Chains A and B, each alone.
Chain A
Amino acid sequence: DGGITQSPKYLFRKEGQNVTLSCEQNLNHDAMYWYRQDPGQGLRLIYYSQIVNDFQKGDIAEGYSVSREKKESFPLTVTSAQKNPTAFYLCASSIQMYGTYEQYFGPGTRLTVT
């Protein structure tokens, strides 16, 4: 059963701690993305990766870091430098980044930092 998995579904952390969100896909997609969604808001792009060992900053990359060591995995680290980290984080993938390819989204991780 192909798809994207994100874990955990809910995550609670204390302010000042770094936290890593997991994203795994078995769709054999080259491109992967991380979005942030705040309540009642749209999707804002944090980072994206077109291919293994390559990634680029999106619109709101400050306070976040990523890695893409394997095609299947694209973990996101929310660092203590992120001013307002509480949000819903969505990982997505597509066959390729450019062209007429839709994005497949994971179920998301709700991060609460207190």
Chain B
Amino acid sequence: GQQVMQIPQYQHVQEGEDFTTYCNSSTTLSNIQWYKQRPGGHPVFLIQLVKSGEVKKQKRLTFQFGEAKKNSSLHITATQTTDVGTYFCAGQAAGNKLTFGGGTRVLVKP
């Protein structure tokens, strides 16, 4: 079945630094979504990518969908303490349900 893998599992970042988390699918996706879960909270939808090579930005967050539509990345610039949480990607292949990756847990060192 469809599998979605995320790396790294944990990311320790110094406040102010940049980092990237990656998402890889075993199958070609029709779309990919990103969610953020704050500590003690529930996942909240951030963004969706549909087109091959698509790049979308939300303030300091940049999301990219790979050309082959099998991978995606989230890049955060100038990390802040408000960025703490777990970031999940979720991929959907045509005719299949949304499958979540294992998440990247982000810890920020002030």
Q: Which A residues have a C-beta under 8 Å from some C-beta of B?
A: 35, 40-43, 45, 48, 90, 92, 94, 97-98, 100, 102-108
Looking across the interface, which residue of chain A has its beta carbon closest to that of B49? A100
Residues of A within 8 A of B103 (CB): 41-43
Q: Which B residues have a C-beta under 8 Å from some C-beta of A?
A: 30-31, 33, 35, 41-45, 48, 50, 88, 90, 92, 95-98, 100-103, 105
Distance between Cα atoms of A94 and B41 in the complex (Å): 19
B33 in complex: contacting residue of A35, A43, A102, CB < 8 Å: A102
Distance between Cα atoms of A101 and B42 in the complex (Å): 18
CB–CB A100/B48 < 8 A:
yes
CB–CB A42/B88 < 8 A:
yes
Distance between Cα atoms of A97 and B30 in the complex (Å): 13
Q: Which of A40, A42, A48, A98 has the most CB of B within 10 A?
A: A42
With A43-B43, A43-B88, A90-B43 in contact, is A102–B48 under 8 Å at CB?
yes
Residues of B within 8 A of A40 (CB): 105
Residues of B within 8 A of A90 (CB): 42-43
**Nearest CB on B from A51, distance (A):** 14
With A42-B102, A48-B97 in contact, is A103–B45 under 8 Å at CB?
yes
CB–CB A108/B42 < 8 A:
yes
Looking across the interface, which residue of chain A has its beta carbon closest to that of B50? A100
Looking across the interface, which residue of chain B has its beta carbon closest to that of A90? B42
Looking across the interface, which residue of chain A has its beta carbon closest to that of B98? A103
A106 in complex: contacting residue of B42, B45, B90, B102, CB < 8 Å: B42
B102 in complex: contacting residue of A41, A45, A92, A102, CB < 8 Å: A41
A-B contact pairs, 7 of them (CB 8 A): A42-B100, A97-B97, A98-B97, A103-B33, A103-B35, A103-B45, A105-B42
